[in-house]
Amino acid sequence: DHVVFTSCSTEHSHSALSCKMAAEFDAFLSSDQSWFCHLDDDNYLNPEALLKLLSSYSAMKDVYLGKPSLNRPIRASETLSNNQTKSVRFWFATGGAGFCISRKLARKMMPWASGKNFLSTSELIRLPDDCTIGYIIECKVGGQLLPNRLFHSHLENLQLIPTSDLMQQVTLSYGVFENKLNVIKLSGPFSPQEDPSRFRSLHCHLYPDTPWCLQAVGW
């Protein structure tokens, strides 16, 4: 009962990603939860760190938490009803690091983000789903991103995160950065060959009593 089956395409296309984001958003709105948090499927989420972070904010206020991948607002051309365009600029939290939105703010976003409205809004600026979220919040609702360093994507150098700080991070990622494998710096219990993302090893540091952690050689 935790899986939502959608009719969205499995492609990694603009429309498919917007379709999935809209489905996530609507599933949240129909629930009684206080926070909408989106992650990519190649993120590692530390639930305890997330709950600790969210506990310092009120879901009854407008809150948009995440990490931008740019050091400046993104610029876009918004299509107007008369087929003219206007330049807009806004901050957005990269979906590859994850982000969270309070229920109060999410309800304000509904005219542009619920159902088929999300894809229509996305088409106005011709940018991906995570950019569209930022556009709705800043340009339509009047909110703003609260940047947080505890979210991480493969677009940053993950080797720079001190090993001693890894257990406090909300999300982590892996991938390729500047043509090199981009993973967190962490030892055992699994080798880089067994655990190229280092997520299994991180999980064992966080939850050492996990059965498959106890079975790891030398752990």
Show which residues are catalytic. Answer: 130
> Of all helices (H) and strands (E), which one includes residue 21?
helix 14-29
The alpha carbons of the chain give a radius of gyration, in whole angstroms, of: 19
Give the C-alpha separation, 24 to 30, whole Å: 10
For residue 104, the tally of other CB atoms under 10 A from its CB is 15
Give the C-alpha separation, 180 to 41, whole Å: 21
| Tokens describing residue 211 | 């059965």
Q: Are strands 44-45 and 175-177 parallel, antiparallel or unpaired?
A: unpaired
| Tokens describing residue 13 | 């296309």
- Give residues with Cβ within 8 angstroms of 155, minimum separation 6: 69, 94, 96, 97, 177
Burial status of residue 4 (CB atoms within 10 A of its CB: 0-12, 13-18, 19 or more): exposed
